Amino acid sequence: MDGTKDNNGYIKAGTITSKDKFKLYPGEYLLEFNLAGCQRNDDDINAITVSLGSLYSKRIVLENELEFKLFTEFIHVVQTTEAHLVFSHSGGDEYGLLLDNIKFLSLNGRNGCGLLGDFNDDGVIDLKEVIRALKKISGF
């Protein structure tokens, strides 16, 4: 996740932002992603802030060489809104955390379309199936 040098030699930390804003309706949402610590001998602290507009923000600090770990976050939306999903690394030393397997789903009967896109009314997610899948993923 950490960035590289720009044309002036400055290192900017890496940021991933969803291409479009997600249209979020009232209800519950599931955000899952895997993070691993820096896999190089880096003494700096590596942290990332994950946010979904003003609805959710969490800063995560991982030790170096830590293997991939699953993060599961439930986000409650009170009123219809739109927001970008953002993963923003802190620092700027050309080393950083590893990010993989991002999933963002609605648990309200609306489809999640992955990292890029929007939600629509064309599909239904059965909450029992979501819970069954979460149990398999998280080892419940």
Tokens 């439930």 correspond to 74
3-class DSSP state for residue 133?
helix
Q: Quickly state the pLDDT bin for 118 (edges 50, 70, 90).
A: very low
- Hey, what's the torsion of the CAs at 50, 51, 56, 57, to 10 degrees? 50
pTM: 0.71
Q: Which residues partner with 19 through β-bridges?
A: none
Which residues, at least 6 apart from 79, have a Cβ–Cβ distance to it below 8 Å? 26
The pLDDT tens digits for 42-65 are 666 788 999 999 999 999 988 888
Q: Which CATH number fits domain 15-138: 1.20.1050, 2.60.40, 1.10.10, 2.60.120?
A: 2.60.120
* Structural domain boundaries in the chain: 15-138
